Structure 1
């Protein structure tokens, strides 16, 4: 349990004291029930509307990740975003589309010629971004020492035959998504994804976001840990497809030791789940996407990026899915709260980052205690409380 005394919160002038107290109470309940810490931030048009921080960056009885120290969670605390990173990649894809460097309807091989192998010559950029390409794991699997070599693994995927005809099924490409978009971005910009995060997002908008964390920032990083009952793919009961899941994730979420606390992961530019940032940065990012004044991309580009390109039950995980061009969209599970339209991207263990465009709001729940989706109510309760206000 975490002491309530570690909770700090503030609200902007647009939030009444009563509404602020209601959300703070929900936040405090979850902090006190957990063993770690978290932050919940809401921004409107680039300005903070609500900021809540609570708990510790690591439990006292947990060995700290190298270069870090347990401290009260505050505005400066950073954490691994897991698949929240994919939402950042979706923003970068939207920027590249707006600049005319990337066409979602173009064949991938028009940018990346080697990708045409094994019958993939008609696979489109949109099919990669919307998780319908059928390359959910690299075959053969790279050696452990090569798992952070983006270009090497992309080469394996380029030569590979899809598990199904691209575009006919949707299934979450948990790890391979990062290798695929990294290579696509490199082919059209000549830059690695960490460079693009800094040049297109972090620097121009003042965002605490990294894909490849500098050593000087290590001390701000929360230590990730799994709740005792943590499990992945909680919708899945089929044992044969469970084997595919194990092959998909390999030694990431299923490892005996969590590699997301490792120094190599921090320095790597893993676009599927290695991003590191603060809750304020993610909430501000999404609020700027839906801002009516000087948004990150035009309304037309955002509309295209958040149009449904794939939806259905995950062909591997049995979970309902709905994707735009890299963004998760509001789904039957209410992932983004009782509000539509909504978009963003969730992260393993309970993190959630997104926007309610009709309300010009961006929000972020950042955590370090990973909980199973079928048990975790942190994001659900906080977004339900927020929806009662806006």
Structure 2
């Protein structure tokens, strides 16, 4: 039977109990869980196995594809540039990236990209998954498209192209790709083992994803001109592909960041710890306040669930994420169950990453159990 390793402060003992139950019962295959308070880890747990055959234990430095947790790293990279005065979220995207003005997109603002309200939530067909590995070509395609709805009026989750859009703005300003900028400005200074474009030498530490049992679904029943269809099926994520070297090495800043709970919490605790970490101030209060400027609140056009977006993060939405507490809180989730929450009221960051994916686009029963135990301890 798999055991749980790591440490847990006494006041979070229930978190360890719940995590151990999920690992030992086999509900988890392999997973990691981390909670920071004031930027310091108070829970850092891992357990289970990296492979379906359960031959290799999940280790302290095991990495896994965290899917859309990657978007929070892209958003934070953009906020760094905002803080330095190099990027204005209320400026037109075309100010930084002139080609983006084509086909009715001249008035789209940077905040619309960061909050999934730009109208450009995916690619016009035909497009294959491999096509998006070519950053230059696939990003140029986005610049030439028409928006699929009126920008700024609603969110349509930028499921697979968020990093292409935000990353191109970053590249136009800095000359560096999102993966390179994130590594040099966030991951390396913070000592965080999180990668957008994971070098081949690290692949032996990556746990294999085990896709969820999905209900049989006839895609042809969806209207092919719907935002949902065009966003989620042009191209469609293919789970076996997500275990390949080509996928891992590509820079897909929406969905292929590789890390673990510790590295997610390390980077994201910049937000909950007031922009300061490791004795260095990365973000001002004014920049952090931008996250909480609500950009949309309603049923998302792409994934058809109620969402509230600030700039770069989701804001509390009890229908969709019932265990995310209210208050000055921002969060996001990765496909299959990975989760991050920044609770600024309590200077707490929660992070969870795993390899056995649950069905559903946001959260899982396991994530909910850990969130509930964590915030019961934090908020009493």
TM over 0.5: yes
- Please state if 1:46 is matched with 2:39: yes
Partners of 1:340 and 1:143 in 2: CA distance: 41
1:223 and 1:243, CA in 2 relative to 1: closer, same or farther beyond 3 A? farther
Match of residue 310, structure 1, among 296, 304, 319: 296
Residue 372 (structure 2) pairs with residue 384 (structure 1): yes
Q: Is the 8 A contact 1:336 1:354 kept in 2?
A: no
For residue 155 of structure 2, what is the aligned residue in structure 1? 170
Judge which range, 266-275 or 337-346, deviates more: 337-346
| Equivalent residue for 1:286, pick from 268, 288, 296 | 268
Q: Does 1:25 align with 2:35?
A: no
What secondary structure sits across from 1:39 in the alignment?
A: strand
Bigger Cα displacement from structure 2, 183-192 vs 143-152: 143-152
Partner-residue secondary structure (3-state), 2:103? helix
Residues 175 and 44 (structure 1 numbering): CA distance in 2 closer, same or farther, change over 3 Å? same
Q: C-alpha distance in 2, partners of 1:231/1:306?
A: 38
TM-superposed deviation, 1:307: 2.2
Aligned-residue offset at 1:251: 7.5
Match of 1:260 in 2: 242
The answer for unaligned runs of 5 or more in structure 1 is: 62-69
TM-score (norm 2): 0.90
Paired with 1:306 and 1:90, the residues of 2 have a C-alpha distance of 13
- The total of aligned residue pairs comes to 370
Write the mapping of 1:172-251 to structure 2, written as runs, cut at 5 A.
Answer: 172-229=157-214, 239-240=222-223, 244-250=227-233
Match of 1:67 in 2: none
> What is the CA–CA distance in structure 2 between the aligned matches of 1:307 and 1:145, rounded to whole Å?
35
| Cα deviations by residue, 1:130-166 (Å, 9 ceiling, x for unpaired) | 1111112212433554221112111111111111111
Which blocks of at least 5 consecutive residues in structure 2 are unaligned?
Answer: none
- Secondary structure at the aligned position of 1:202 is classed as helix
Please state how far the C-alpha of 1:194 moved relative to its aligned partner: 1.1
Contact kept in structure 2, 1:57 and 1:223, CA below 8 Å: yes
Cα distance change, pair 327–144 in 1 and its aligned pair in 2 (3 A) = closer
Task: Indicate how the Cα distance of structure 1 residues 132 and 251 shifts in structure 2: closer, same or farther if over 3 A, else same.
Answer: closer
Alpha-carbon spacing, 1:231–1:383, altered in 2? closer, same or farther (3 Å): farther
Describe the SS at the equivalent of 2:317.
coil
The 3 A distance-change label for structure 1 pair 96 and 39 is same
Q: How far apart in 2 are the matches of 1:231 and 1:378?
A: 23
Map of 2:140 onto structure 1: 155
Change (3 A) 1:251 1:310: closer
Query: For residues 98-177 of structure 1, what are the structure 2 equivalents within 5 Å?
Result: 98-177=83-162
Residue 44 of structure 1 and its aligned partner are, at CA, apart by 1.9
Contact 2:39 2:347 in 1 (8 A): no
Between stretches 242-251 and 343-352, larger displacement belongs to: 242-251
Q: Among residues 249, 254, 263, which one is paired with 1:272 in the alignment?
A: 254
**Mapped partners of 1:334, 1:144: distance in 2:** 29
Q: In the alignment, which of 71, 76, 80 is matched to residue 95 of structure 1?
A: 80
Per-residue displacement from partner, 1:29-54 (whole Å, max 9, x unpaired)? 22224251111110123321011212
Tell me: CA distance 1:284–1:197, structure 2 relative to 1, closer, same or farther (3 Å).
Answer: same
CA contact (8 A) 1:241 1:316 kept: no
Task: Please give the secondary structure, in 2, of the residue aligned with 1:168.
Answer: coil
